[in-house]
């Protein structure tokens, strides 16, 4: 049995779907690495809302997906970029997501970290930006979750130089009641964050970032770096104070960065571990036993899929993540908050299906095939 998939130039090509999924069992958390999957939200497809209206979320399906990740030993990074923060999910929706997911984490014993930003405002003075951060930090800490201090569009627009970042982040770290994760999100994920840390020079920006950490090492659990430059992350990792972790956010080079070298390794906080969850968990369990070669053999083949999902414009990777969740049966529809299901092309979806199917990611390959055929038919591909 084959399925006709569209390629470049409007052509169709035959693809023979896999018949058996990868056999992966659920399991406990890991011993050698701390691993978070940044999880997506499931839209309510029956809500009568427009793309620019507040998000309508299917809470049952959203929380069920988080239980799926926890069951495989992964932590959940909540209300972050993968959850369409700033791209369909506003602060009101994010706050509700944090409350519900943190409560669910307590109920099942799952690890959770939640994004703290300033998206309840669009701009303002440094004092107003600090206050917005403080409001969100208080909510996350009150929920019992670990805080991830995310990059702020408002701060990027208002700050006049590195000293403004030093002041705002220093203020927040002094207030934090427990060590946080600092998140450096590159402009390929959000163009509004260009020049973060007060400079377009990434070397100079790294120095500012490290200066903030060095001033408050007891308040920084780790840093999450999403610049898609493995060498830069490795260099930063080696310069961190003792006890401060590096959580890779590099969806292009994660196997080598997590495996590490003689001088250290990265932990993980990755959007691509949303669709890769069970397979990623199996790979890290091999790493727990010291089997680095087995870890790489299992995880290296996933990079082609990740690079496809995160291809430019990188910020639309969420569309592919939700598409694969639909094919895998984690939700009953392919609708997204903000109408973002329209952000990728049919050939993009077809290639994502082919790569994911080849990895054995779909628990029910026939269901995935049938849903792919449904999508093809909606686009006019009927043979």
Query: pLDDT, tens digit, for every residue of 326-354?
Result: 999 999 999 999 999 999 999 999 999 99
* Whole-angstrom distance, CA of residue 92 vs CA of residue 120: 8
Q: How far apart are CA 149 and CA 114, in angstroms?
A: 9
The rounded distance, in Å, linking the Cα atoms of 188 and 186 is 5
User: 8: pLDDT confidence band, cut at 50, 70 and 90?
Assistant: confident
The stretch 123-145 carries a mean pLDDT of 97
- State the chain's mean pLDDT as an integer: 96
* pLDDT at 106 > cutoff 80: yes
- Report pLDDT digits (tens) over 252-307: 999 999 999 999 999 999 999 999 999 999 999 999 999 999 999 999 999 999 99
Q: Other CB atoms closer than 10 Å to residue 354's CB: what's the count?
A: 20
**pLDDT confidence of residue 22:** 86
- The whole-number pLDDT of residue 48 equals 94
Give the pLDDT mean for 205-217: 96
Q: In degrees, to the nearest 5, what angle opens at C-alpha 80 toward C-alphas 74 and 84?
A: 115
- Predicted local confidence at residue 203, as pLDDT: 95
pLDDT score for 159? 97
What pLDDT, on the 0 to 100 scale, is given for residue 224? Answer: 94
Q: What crossing angle do the helices spanning 317-327 and 346-359 adopt, rounded to 10°?
A: 60
pTM as predicted: 0.96
Mean of the pLDDT values across residues 194-223? Answer: 96
**3-state helix/strand/coil string of 106-148:** HHHCCCEEEEECCCCCCCCCHHHHHHHHHHHHHHHHHHCCEEE
What's the pLDDT at 5?
Answer: 96
CA–CA dist 4, 334 (Å, integer): 20
Per-residue confidence band for 321, with pLDDT thresholds at 50, 70 and 90? very high
Share of the chain above pLDDT 90, in %: 93
- The predicted structure's pLDDT at residue 28: 86
| pLDDT for residue 7 is more than 90 | no
With tokens 């809302």, the residue in question is: 49
- Spell out a b/e string for 275-300, using b for 16 or more CB atoms within 10 Å of the CB, else e: bbbbbbbbbbbbbeeeebeebbebbe
With 80 as the cut, is the pLDDT of residue 383 above it? no
**Furthest C-alpha separation in the chain:** 62
> What integer pLDDT is reported at residue 238 of this predicted model?
96
Per-residue confidence (pLDDT) for residue 23, from 0 to 100: 86
Q: Find, among 22, 107, 77, the residue nearest to 267 by Cα.
A: 77
pLDDT of residue 10: 82
Query: pLDDT tens-digit profile of 156-165?
Result: 999 999 999 9
Each residue of 57-93: pLDDT tens digit?
Answer: 999 999 999 999 999 999 999 999 999 999 999 999 9
Strand partners, 267: 247
């Amino acid at each position: 049995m084959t399925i006709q998939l569209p390629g470049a130039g409007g052509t169709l090509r035959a693809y023979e779907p896999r018949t058996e999924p990868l056999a992966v069992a659920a399991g406990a958390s890991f011993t050698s690495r701390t691993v978070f999957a940044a999880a997506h939200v499931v839209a309510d497809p029956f809500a009568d809302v427009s793309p620019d209206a507040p998000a309508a979320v299917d809470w049952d399906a959203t929380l069920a997906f988080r239980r799926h990740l926890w069951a495989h030993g992964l932590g959940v990074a909540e209300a972050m970029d993968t959850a369409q923060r700033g791209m369909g999910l506003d602060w009101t929706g994010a706050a509700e997501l944090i409350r519900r997911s943190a409560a669910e984490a307590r109920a099942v014993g799952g690890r959770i970290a939640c994004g703290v930003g300033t998206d309840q405002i669009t701009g303002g003075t440094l004092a107003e930006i600090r206050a917005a951060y403080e409001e969100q930090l208080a909510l996350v800490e009150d929920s019992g979750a670990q805080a991830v201090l995310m990059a702020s569009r408002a701060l990027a627009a208002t700050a006049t130089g590195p000293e403004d970042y030093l002041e705002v982040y220093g203020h927040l770290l002094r207030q934090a009641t427990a060590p946080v994760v600092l998140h450096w999100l590159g402009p390929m994920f959000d163009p509004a964050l260009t020049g973060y840390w007060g400079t377009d020079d990434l070397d100079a920006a790294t120095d500012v970032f490290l200066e903030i950490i060095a001033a408050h090492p007891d308040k920084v659990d780790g840093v999450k770096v999403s610049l898609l430059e493995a060498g830069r992350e490795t260099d930063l990792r080696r310069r961190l104070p003792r006890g401060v972790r590096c959580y890779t956010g590099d969806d292009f080079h994660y196997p080598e960065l997590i495996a590490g070298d003689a001088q250290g390794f990265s932990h993980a906080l990755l959007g691509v571990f949303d669709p890769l969850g069970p397979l990623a968990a199996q790979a890290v369990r091999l790493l727990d036993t010291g089997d680095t070669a087995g870890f790489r053999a299992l995880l290296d083949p996933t990079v082609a899929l990740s690079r496809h999902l995160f291809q430019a414009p990188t910020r639309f990777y969420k569309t592919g993540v939700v598409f694969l969740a639909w094919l895998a049966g984690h939700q009953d529809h392919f609708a997204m908050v903000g109408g973002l299901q329209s952000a990728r092309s049919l050939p993009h979806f077809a290639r994502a299906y082919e790569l994911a199917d080849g990895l054995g990611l779909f628990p029910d390959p026939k269901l995935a095939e049938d849903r792919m055929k449904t999508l093809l038919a909606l686009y006019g591909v009927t043979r």
